[in-house]
């Protein structure tokens, strides 16, 4: 066969293939349009209990867009707090003073530090025992729970959520943990 004839047939075949691909792509359905984001909650109105989280997310996103990225650190936090307070409206949730917020942060920080220290001492105590990884983890958790009652409560709730087969970091898991820890 002639080389020219082979190249001619290859070019025709490639053109036919490109045409077929173009027709297939042109006939596929377009992707569905994304659903519009819910509007932030209006002051004075109470959103449905199911949509409160989404409204909070939408409000947070609106505040992020409003504040912009030119602020950093404490200035950005203050601007976001002010925007979120305006978006939420007065009286729709607990309004904490700066001193109360700082006190809560310090309590959480102290609690985390206490749990870290307890975990460290428990780990040292179980260091020389021949345990599997799961046994070691359970032993450390139980040891820390004895030292810290708030951790013990959270651990019991977490184990109960695991027994109910709730997926971690999901909405039902978080709701269950909140209600369990608060004792409701």
Residue with tokens 């036919």: 16
How far is Cα 28 from Cα 20, in angstroms, rounded to an integer?
Answer: 13
Query: Residue range 65-71: average pLDDT?
Result: 79
- Sequence ranges of the domains in the chain: 50-89
- The Cα–Cα gap between 112 and 133 comes to 23
Q: What is the pLDDT of residues 134-183, one digit of tens each?
A: 999 999 999 999 988 888 898 899 999 999 999 988 888 988 998 998 88
CA distances from 21 to 7, 26, 44, 121, 179 (A): 21, 9, 56, 65, 56
The pTM assigned to this predicted structure is: 0.45
Contact 126, 118 (CB under 8 A): no
177 C-beta neighbours (distance < 10 Å), count: 17
CA distance 75 to 17: 59
- Please write the tens of the pLDDT for every residue from 99-123: 888 888 888 888 889 999 999 999 9
């Amino acid at each position: 066969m002639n080389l020219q004839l082979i190249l001619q047939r290859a070019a025709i075949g490639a053109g036919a293939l490109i045409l077929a691909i173009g027709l297939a792509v042109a006939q596929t359905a377009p992707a569905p349009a994304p659903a519009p984001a819910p509007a932030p909650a209006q002051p004075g109105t109470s959103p449905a209990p199911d949509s409160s989280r989404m409204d909070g997310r939408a409000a947070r996103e609106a505040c992020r867009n409003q504040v912009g990225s030119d602020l950093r650190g404490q200035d950005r936090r203050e601007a976001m707090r002010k925007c979120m307070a305006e978006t939420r409206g007065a009286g729709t949730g607990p309004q904490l003073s700066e001193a109360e917020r700082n006190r809560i942060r310090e309590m959480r920080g102290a609690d985390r530090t206490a749990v870290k220290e307890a975990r460290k001492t428990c780990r040292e105590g179980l260091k020389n025992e021949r345990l599997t990884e799961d046994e070691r983890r359970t032993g450390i958790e139980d040891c820390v729970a004895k030292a810290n009652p708030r951790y013990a409560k959270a651990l019991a709730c977490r184990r109960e959520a695991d027994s109910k087969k709730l997926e971690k970091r999901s909405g039902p898991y978080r709701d269950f943990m909140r209600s369990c820890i608060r004792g409701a």
